[in-house]
Amino acid sequence: MSRTLYDKLVDAHKVCDLPDGDMLIYVDFHIMNEYTSPQAFSGLETRLLDVWRPEAHLAVVDHVNATRSSEPHDAASKLLIDNLQANCTKHGIAFYGLGDPRQGIEHIVVPEQGLVVPGMLIACGDSHTTTYGAYGALGFGIGTSEVEHVLATQTLRYKRMKTMRVTIDGDTAAGVTAKDIIMKVVQVVGAGGANGFAVEFAGSAIRDLDMAGRMTVCNMAVELGARAALIAADDITESALKGHPHSGQFTFNGESWDSDPEAVFDEEFSISGTDIEPLITWGTSPDHSVPITSNVPVAADYVSPKAKAALERSLQYMGLTEGQSAQSIKIDTAFIGSCTNSRIEDLREAAKILEGRQVATGVEAIVVPGSAMTRIKAEAEGLRAIFEAAGFEWRPEAGCSMCLAMNDDIAMDGERVASSTNRNFEGRQGRGARTHLMSPAMVAAAAVAGHLADVRDFK
Amino acid sequence: MIKGIVAPLPLANVDTDVIMPKRFLITITREGLADGTFADLRFDNAEQRRPEFVLNKPPWNQATILVVGDNFGCGSSREHAVWGMRQLGINACIGTSFAGIFYDNARKNGLALPVVSPEVRDVLLQLASKTSGAEISIDLGSRTIAAGDYTEPFEMDDATRTSLIRGRDDTLDSLEHAGAIRDFEAGLDDKMRISVIT
Ligand code: SF4
């Protein structure tokens, strides 16, 4: 029988069926951070349980740490960091903490360390674990109770999801990046449009992406509600598996981690790659996006009173007027970072725009490389020099930083940020902060222009 | 049977940061999260209750059930959002769709999330808006919601329903299958047997 890639991955990891309709699935690899794991470890302690297979876990510090220095910025964050380290020491789990040359944002660190291969099942107490789908691996986010469950049993209780395929065929235009592709998908399918689905991305526009681009796509699939995102493994995937610290551990024999040609999906979407333009979000949900050449919506575009009211609320929060042109939106801050877009490839794209240019007066521009290894590489390539010459602040430590503002990188009430991150919810980057999502190159363009700008105008 | 006063919260895409703002996450316990729940909706910058917010005024300050907008619980994986709702006394949220991780977290903590059609949700929203304080009951056994003469079925998968009714400890239950897990591991291909460098 024809099977989808998702079904192959689930079948390959099924331990047994459970009487209530769930199954137990085996977790090959599990990643933890400092803020969704403490209560899982205390749960183990309460029940006097051991960690089933300590060598199959990795813990990193990324969400609460400062990025200006390798010292925690306050006592509360230090407590979380020290607590994770103590738990890892106690249970014999690998810990990449502050000052460790392997530290960084979990979803940047894992591929960089060579810890993901096609066919693997990966869980992590973080919603953007969908990122690993870029490798033809099944990655998904879990809550703290499930973190405890993986630690104690190396398995999870699991329900098979429905499958969706989003096919993007056709060459994308110059200036259109992986970020624009996934923002377009979120716009078409809708925030929450893939709740309950595992989504496979297919088509020539996806196959043409490098691994960094594929990770950006799978990363933000959670913004459409997908619990898992997948891209079939191919030659590009295979060549990305070599040369990392863990590479020798696995053998990838070119098994076909892809969907059978006849496989049937519960839902299908198709998008033309040639129709995609560089996008920005204007509102407070990731599907509130328009092309940079276009305008903020007007109430007359909407039929239902509910939608009109929602538009009004978003515009009010964002401090925008309906129909205002995207490029008239002035920014206070430019932020390049996050597990969506702080890989070396992203920094290179942004640096191309910044070379020989200056950040506009009054704009505060910050770049936080996704990991210590990314930072070192970028410095060696001369990217740091380009960013700094342009007027960007280059942060010496890696972390989530202003993506969710759980450390001291917080946007102020009313502050408007052009951001290479993944969520523009109310308060995401600080109480009252206004986030516009876009590709890292578009953030660089906005930083230079002082307002949202079209990257294609920066030749 | 879950029974109580129901409050309307019709906003779509309520994310976990609205349910539990990040400043309450700097903690290593599950406790003390009631005040953080919906904090920016309930309190203003000076920590004063916002009188206009539904859960701050009678009869909804007694609510134990919410009727919510589409795609409730989207965003991060933080289980703190569910812990906080439970600590605030919320036993169920009725909606059309919930984010996957939030849905699973809810089940682990006895928060019922009945899924209904947009039409039924809108009827329940109207009902919940009555200032006299509508009471509804949610019967997990028969998967129905009832308010007076009005009854409607809801969707909930079997495993979640059993879990909510029995209030089990999934971790200990799963360990009863330790033998099956070991058998599976014995058959694991070497290429998937990870050993993270410490
Ligand atoms: S960078 Fe942002 S989205 Fe990614 S793991 Fe950190 S907080 Fe989450």
Nearest CA to ligand 1 atom 4: A339
> Which is the closest atom of ligand 1 to the Cα of A423?
3
Tell me: do A399 and A449 sit in the same domain. Answer: yes
Whether B194 sits inside 8 A of A144 (CB atoms) is: no
Tell me: do A11 and A105 sit in the same domain. Answer: yes
Tell me: do A44 and A176 sit in the same domain. Answer: yes
Tell me: do A315 and A400 sit in the same domain. Answer: yes
One-letter identity of residue A318: M
Tell me: do A160 and A309 sit in the same domain. Answer: no
Strands (E), A241-373: 267-272, 279-281, 289-291, 333-336, 364-367
* CATH code of the domain in which A422 resides: 3.30.499.10
Tell me: do A116 and A135 sit in the same domain. Answer: yes
Q: Which two tokens stand for residue B34?
A: 């009631």
Q: Kindly give the confidence (pLDDT) of every residue in chain A, 459 residues in length, as a single tens digit, with 9 standing for 90 and above.
A: 899 999 999 999 999 999 888 999 999 999 999 999 999 999 999 999 999 999 999 999 999 999 999 888 899 999 999 999 999 999 999 999 999 999 999 999 999 999 999 999 999 999 999 999 999 999 999 999 999 999 999 999 999 999 999 999 999 999 999 999 999 999 999 999 999 999 999 999 999 999 999 999 999 999 999 999 999 999 999 999 999 999 988 776 667 899 999 999 999 999 999 999 999 999 999 999 999 999 999 999 888 888 899 999 999 999 999 999 999 999 999 999 999 999 999 999 999 999 999 999 999 999 999 999 999 999 999 999 999 999 999 999 999 999 999 999 999 999 999 999 999 999 999 999 999 999 999 999 999 999 999 999 998
Is the beta carbon of A422 within 6 A of some atom in ligand 1? Answer: yes
In this prediction, the answer to ipTM > 0.90 reads yes
Which residues of chain A neighbour B158 with C-beta distances below 8 Å? 20-21
Least Cα separation, residue B138 to chain A (angstroms): 21
Tell me: do A38 and A168 sit in the same domain. Answer: yes
Tell me: do A154 and A284 sit in the same domain. Answer: no
DSSP annotation of A411 reads: P
pLDDT tens column, B65-105: 999 999 999 999 999 999 999 999 999 999 999 999 999 99
Cα pseudo-dihedral A149, A155, A156, A160, rounded to 10: 180
Rounded to the nearest 10 degrees, the angle between the axes of helix B100-108 and helix B80-87 is 50
Number of folded domains in chain A? 2
Least Cα separation, residue A171 to chain B (angstroms): 31
Parent domain of A1 = 1-252+259-277
CA of residue A429 to ligand 1 center, whole Å: 11
What does the DSSP assignment read for A375-393?
HHHHHHTTHHHHHHHHT-E
Question: What CATH code is assigned to B2-166?
Answer: 3.20.19.10
Is the beta carbon of A105 within 6 A of some atom in ligand 1? Answer: yes
Length of chain B (residues):
198
Q: Which of A400, A401, A419, A422 to mutate to test the pocket of ligand 1 (most atoms within 8 A of CB)?
A: A400
Is the beta carbon of A420 within 6 A of some atom in ligand 1? Answer: no
Tell me: do A54 and A30 sit in the same domain. Answer: yes
* The dihedral sign for the CA sequence A209, A215, A218, A222: negative
Minimal Cβ distance to B77: which of A20, A141, A161: A141
Mutation target to probe the B interface, by most B beta carbons within 10 A, among A157, A241, A284, A402 is: A157
Task: Write down the pLDDT at residue A252.
Answer: 66
Least Cα separation, residue A157 to chain B (angstroms): 8
Is the beta carbon of A126 within 6 A of some atom in ligand 1? Answer: yes
